[in-house]
Copies of this chain bind each other. A is one copy, B any other.
Amino acid sequence: MKRRQFITKASTLAGAGIASVGIAKASSNPKIKWRMTTSFPRNLDLLYGTSQRLADSVAAMSDGEFEIQVFAPGEIVPSTQVFDAVQNGTVEMGHSTSNYYHGKNKALSIDTCLPFGLTTRMQNAWYYAGGGTEILRELFDKYNIVNFPGGNSNTQMGGWFRKEVKTIADLKGLKFRIPGFGGEIFSRLGAIPQNIAVGDIYSSLEKGTIDATEFVGPYDDQRLGLQQVAPYYYTPGFWEGSAMLTFYVNKDAWNTLSPRNKIIFERAAAECNMWMAAQYDAKNPEALATVIKNGAKLRSFSKEILQAAYDVAQEIYTEEAEINEDFRKIYTHWKDFLNKEYQWFRVNENIFQQFMFSQFRRQS
């Protein structure tokens, strides 16, 4: 992309959401030029849009001195090699989701989420006020990476199924596209987890190569048209009660930044983290209505499936903690935080919200 196109695109995206205060023009001669490779194609506009928003914020706050150019998957490295590209210094930074690197070290998945884990509010509390950032930084440091929270999808949907699944027996032999710990849970429940690229999901469901797939939530899912080939749309995506994205910065690149540029980057990243969550919360309601109007049939996972999945998840975590010191250390901290948070939210936020939901049942 040429410079002029790049700047124009940046200005357009920066104008979305909160009323922009005007983006400074990029300097014609920036002192710092970084490349950010992302895992998210441009048409997933909230995901890719958050990558671009970080670049815009940093450019504007540094008066164009610090420029970050964003690259879509495949332009430098594929979607799932962002972590490696940052670690190796191929690029100065990346934007991805750490559970893509589950095979490298399962402790990395905690950075995104664990199944039956924290909500978005709790996850932010852990990162920004509960010691989560500090303990995860020790892990990422082993990979020469400095990590920053970089957006959240909030609770994801459970995905698209060709047939209803009501019991554990219904999961037997089910070919379900689901990665990471979510896949391990379904595997223990008798399903057969699959890895299939996003572009191949529709045809795989149509042909019956797979029986079900998870993706994100209504706003992103509506683009795939899956209600045509897998009409049962399940809630909730219990393996991603929230799902955080992460900005990765190569540690050597980070260490070259001035204190001022470091705090500009850090504050910009934090703002992006909140911005994405706000966008999903604002846009998912209408998107859910759209997919239902287009034929999706909304279903909840049964208590039987939820409970079996929960119990299996605890077994998996216990086993992983026994063989993986990184996982054990971070998981122990995370689990202690999770216990306290749910006890508190159950009292106050939950009683308020349950009453509010009761009013909507009353009206509808």
Residues of A bordering B, CB below 8 Å: 17-19, 21-24, 57, 60-63, 116, 119-122, 124-130, 133-134, 137, 154-155, 157, 217, 235-238, 241, 259-260, 262-268, 270-271, 273-275, 277-279, 281-286, 288, 298, 300, 303, 306, 310, 337, 339-353, 355-357, 359-360
Residue numbers in B under 8 Å from A285 (CB-CB): 340-341, 343-344
Instruction: Let me know if B122 and A238 touch, CB within 8 A.
Output: no
Instruction: Let me know if B130 and A282 touch, CB within 8 A.
Output: yes
In the complex with contacts A19-B133, A259-B24, A286-B340, A128-B235 CB distance below 8 A: no
Known: A270-B275, A282-B337. 12 other contacts (CB 8 A): A18-B270, A24-B259, A61-B267, A63-B260, A127-B278, A129-B275, A129-B281, A235-B351, A235-B352, A264-B264, A284-B344, A284-B348
Return the contact of A355 from the options B63, B134, B306 (Cβ within 8 A).
Answer: B306
Closest Cβ of chain B: how far from A313's Cβ, in Å? Answer: 11
Residue numbers in B under 8 Å from A360 (CB-CB): 339, 342-343, 346
Between A235, A262, A264, the greatest number of chain B beta carbons within 10 A of the residue's beta carbon is seen for A264
Rounded to whole angstroms, the CA-CA distance of A127 and B275 in the bound complex is: 10
Residue numbers in B under 8 Å from A273 (CB-CB): 274
- Can you name 18 A-B residue pairings with CB atoms under 8 Å? A18-B133, A18-B266, A21-B259, A21-B262, A57-B263, A119-B353, A121-B121, A122-B281, A124-B278, A155-B349, A236-B355, A237-B348, A281-B341, A284-B344, A285-B344, A286-B340, A300-B351, A303-B355
Count identical subunits in the complex.
Answer: 2
Residue numbers in B under 8 Å from A57 (CB-CB): 263, 267
Residue numbers in B under 8 Å from A352 (CB-CB): 119, 155, 235-238, 241
Instruction: Let me know if A353 and B347 touch, CB within 8 A.
Output: no
Residue numbers in B under 8 Å from A286 (CB-CB): 340
Instruction: Let me know if A128 and B279 touch, CB within 8 A.
Output: yes
Instruction: Let me know if B277 and A121 touch, CB within 8 A.
Output: yes
Closest Cβ of chain B: how far from A340's Cβ, in Å? Answer: 4
Instruction: Let me know if A356 and B271 touch, CB within 8 A.
Output: no
Instruction: Let me know if B236 and A348 touch, CB within 8 A.
Output: yes
Rounded to whole angstroms, the CA-CA distance of A19 and B61 in the bound complex is: 21
Residue numbers in B under 8 Å from A235 (CB-CB): 347-348, 351-352
Between A60, A260, A300, A341, the greatest number of chain B beta carbons within 10 A of the residue's beta carbon is seen for A260
In the complex with contacts A124-B278, A267-B61, A282-B125, A347-B298 CB distance below 8 A: yes
Instruction: Let me know if A355 and B60 touch, CB within 8 A.
Output: no
Closest Cβ of chain B: how far from A243's Cβ, in Å? Answer: 12
Closest Cβ of chain B: how far from A35's Cβ, in Å? Answer: 21
Rounded to whole angstroms, the CA-CA distance of A347 and B292 in the bound complex is: 13
Between A61, A266, A268, the greatest number of chain B beta carbons within 10 A of the residue's beta carbon is seen for A61
